[in-house]
């Protein structure tokens, strides 16, 4: 295609292993430590080896280097320094990077880079063990005789959306061999010493997109309410809502967030009612502890507020206090004068 700019580069993809769990445990502390690591170690090493930061994605980095040797050397120096820094940090609060490096032809799109070479680097990062480095065979051919580093043959694993087989090589800091590091990566994070729970975003089962806001509000209110109990360890909204919109494997959620219990639910609007159902599940042995039948609430729809509010019977009473039948008009006036407390998490209104 005319006008497309290309060049051969070394591409580095990195992210923080277990970032969602770290943020759930201590959001402000994790963000502060990550910024300090970037400022004191990561960014200076990138500049020292003539690399550039293409973009950041939360806990992730996409880097470009003109030399594959410089790229791998930079990563090894950062990971080695990180291992030393983390020696004094509790295991459940360590910031550990996973890094993948590839060399390939890239497409230049302004300040961004695209192409198959970038995609492969991202897949290598996904299978890298925390604290280590995963490189393609092409990178290994260029660096194996130029760097004082020992790489382990990782075979040809299946990589997501990569059609052809790719041989990979792994590196890990001295003192922690790759197989041992892989075992650490496969082990679930330690559970807190008190009951732990993650509240997943509720699923909107109705055809009304506006009910999605109501469903999110329900989950947020539950999270807020649970955090008032100091005896519970509750995962923050920013972490649990990363699972919104996809198929949820409760075992994986518990493993990644480091919790024993997972609360999930749904919101379904039918005519003038909204049905809210939730269930509490043990993530270690996926079994429903409290099922939908015992945790279902039915709400009536307020015509004025247009949000869900508690159901109130509008039928006239059979008899007035004096023993005579109450007129329909009088019952209607009494019903209209009774305030309706809206259950909407967004407005908290009271309409009459």
Q: Tell me what pLDDT residue 57 has.
A: 83
Q: Tell me what pLDDT residue 15 has.
A: 92
Q: Tell me what pLDDT residue 3 has.
A: 67
Q: What are the pLDDT digits (tens) for 262-271?
A: 999 888 877 7
Burial class for 295, CB neighbours closer than 10 Å (0-12, 13-18, 19+): middle
Mean pLDDT to the nearest integer, 221-247? 86
Q: Tell me what pLDDT residue 315 has.
A: 41
DSSP 183: H
Is pLDDT above 90 for 75? yes
Q: What are the pLDDT digits (tens) for 119-137?
A: 999 999 989 989 999 999 9
Mean pLDDT to the nearest integer, 172-195? 58
The whole-angstrom separation of Cα 350 and Cα 314 is 17
Structure tokens at 254: 């518990």
In the chain, the domains with their CATH numbers are 5-186 (3.30.70.1230), 196-316+326-351 (3.40.50.10610)
- Radius of gyration (C-alpha) of the chain in whole angstroms: 27
CB within 8 A of 299, min separation 6: which ones?
273, 274, 275, 276, 308, 309, 310, 311, 343
Closest Cα partner for 125 from 37, 34, 15, 22?
15
The whole-angstrom separation of Cα 172 and Cα 150 is 8
Q: Tell me what pLDDT residue 180 has.
A: 44
Distances from the Cα of 133 to the Cα of 8, 17, 55, 102, 168, angstroms: 21, 12, 20, 11, 10
Exposure pattern of 189-200 as b/e (b: 16+ CB <10 Å)? bebeeeebbbbb
Q: What are the pLDDT digits (tens) for 7-52?
A: 999 999 999 988 888 888 888 888 999 999 999 999 999 999 999 9
Q: Tell me what pLDDT residue 188 has.
A: 54
Q: What are the pLDDT digits (tens) for 274-299?
A: 788 888 888 877 655 555 544 445 55
More confidently predicted of 205 and 160: 205
Q: Tell me what pLDDT residue 125 has.
A: 92
CB within 8 A of 51, min separation 6: which ones?
12, 63, 64, 65, 70, 71, 74
CB within 8 A of 237, min separation 6: which ones?
219, 220, 223
Residue 64 CB neighbour total at 10 angstroms = 21
The whole-angstrom separation of Cα 266 and Cα 203 is 4
Is residue 82 within 8 Å of residue 141, measured between CB atoms?
Answer: no
Q: Tell me what pLDDT residue 269 has.
A: 78
Q: Which residues pair with 289 in a beta bridge?
A: none
Burial class for 188, CB neighbours closer than 10 Å (0-12, 13-18, 19+): middle
Is pLDDT above 70 for 179? no
309 — pLDDT class (breaks 50, 70, 90):
very low
Is pLDDT above 70 for 320? no
User: Using CA atoms in the order 43, 46, 48, 52, what is the torsion angle rounded to 10 degrees?
Assistant: -110
72 — pLDDT class (breaks 50, 70, 90):
very high
Closest Cα partner for 328 from 310, 346, 316, 314?
316
Q: Tell me what pLDDT residue 181 has.
A: 45
Closest Cα partner for 96 from 78, 111, 116, 108?
78
303 — pLDDT class (breaks 50, 70, 90):
very low
Is pLDDT above 60 for 220? yes
Is residue 307 within 8 Å of residue 274, measured between CB atoms?
Answer: no
């Amino acid at each position: 295609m005319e006008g497309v700019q290309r060049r051969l580069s070394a591409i580095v993809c990195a992210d923080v292993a277990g970032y969602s769990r770290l943020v759930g445990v201590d959001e402000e502390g994790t963000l502060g430590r990550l910024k300090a690591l970037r400022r004191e170690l990561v960014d200076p090493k990138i500049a020292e080896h003539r690399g550039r930061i293409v973009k950041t994605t939360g806990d992730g980095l996409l880097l470009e280097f003109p030399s594959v040797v410089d790229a791998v050397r930079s990563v090894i120096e950062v990971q080695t320094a990180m291992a030393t820094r983390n020696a004094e940090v509790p295991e459940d609060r360590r910031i550990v990077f996973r890094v993948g490096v590839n060399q390939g032809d890239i497409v230049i799109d302004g300040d961004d880079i695209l192409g198959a070479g970038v995609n492969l680097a991202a897949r290598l990062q996904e299978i890298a063990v925390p604290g280590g480095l995963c490189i393609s065979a092409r990178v290994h051919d260029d660096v194996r005789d130029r760097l004082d580093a020992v790489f382990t043959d990782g075979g040809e694993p299946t990589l997501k959306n990569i059609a052809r087989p790719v041989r990979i090589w792994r590196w890990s800091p001295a003192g922690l061999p790759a197989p041992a590091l892989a075992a650490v990566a496969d082990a679930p994070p330690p559970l807190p010493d008190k009951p732990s729970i993650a509240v997943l975003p509720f699923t909107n089962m109705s055809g009304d997109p506006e009910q999605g806001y109501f469903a999110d509000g329900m989950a947020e209110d539950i999270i807020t309410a649970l955090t008032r109990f100091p005896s519970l360890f509750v995962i923050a909204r920013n972490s649990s809502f990363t699972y919104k919109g996809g198929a949820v494997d409760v075992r994986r959620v518990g493993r990644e967030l480091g919790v024993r219990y997972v609360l999930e639910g749904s919101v379904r609007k039918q005519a003038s009612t909204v049905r809210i159902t939730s269930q509490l599940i043990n993530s270690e042995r996926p079994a429903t502890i409290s099922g939908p039948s015992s945790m279902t609430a039915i709400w009536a729809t307020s015509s004025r507020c247009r949000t869900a509010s508690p159901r109130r019977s509008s039928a006239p009473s059979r008899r007035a206090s004096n023993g005579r039948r109450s007129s329909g008009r009088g019952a209607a006036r009494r019903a209209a004068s009774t305030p309706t407390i809206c259950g909407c998490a967004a407005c908290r209104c009271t309409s009459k």
